[in-house]
Amino acid sequence: MKKQQIILPIFLFATSIVLFIQCKNPQNANLQASGDAEAKVELPAGFEAFYQKFHQDSAYQMAHISWPLQGSKGLQIDSVTNENRAQTWQPTEWRIQKLDLIESGEYIREMNPIGDMMVIERIRAKAVPYGIERRFAKQANQEWELIYYMDIFEFK
């Protein structure tokens, strides 16, 4: 029991670091992965260019987040219980998110556009049912922003 209590938090911490990572290849930004098959998802106009710049330019990223950023954070209550709690992130505690490693084949990423105004992205590891969710929305000035971030949670 003690080993599980130590190993699980370490695993979740390591998984949270890796899940921040998206994709290396800009041409794959509009893919929705489902198992080993990938299907094209039509994303709103301008979103792919925004998505690439968001992950390449840290100043641009910080300027395109709706602060304080709303969301939730997964917490390990005990060795078998997880819980999501409301969380807001401030600029001083934000970790810059970059494109990397998703092409390893160990992650499943879903991009779900909601009309032309929002894109919900979910990334999870294939090996475990944990992942992250980000929501991007087009603002009144026609700029895209990250408006919601759910840190490590259990996919059900």
Q: Tell me the per-residue pLDDT of 99-148, one tens digit each, with 9 for 90 and over.
A: 776 667 788 889 999 999 999 999 998 888 888 999 999 999 999 999 99
pLDDT above 90 covers a percentage of the chain that reads 47
pLDDT of residue 113: 98
- The CATH number covering residue 100 comes to 3.10.450
pLDDT of residue 20: 36
Contact between residue 135 and residue 119 where contact means Cβ atoms under 8 Å apart: yes
Q: Tokens 């304080």 label which residue?
A: 68
The domain of 104 spans 2-154
Pairing of strands 107-114, 82-89: unpaired
Number of domains in the chain: 1
Q: How far is CA 94 from CA 68, 72, 75, in A?
A: 10, 14, 18
- The lowest-confidence range among 5-9, 45-49, 56-60 is 5-9
Instruction: Among 8-22, 51-65, 79-93, name the most confident range.
Output: 51-65
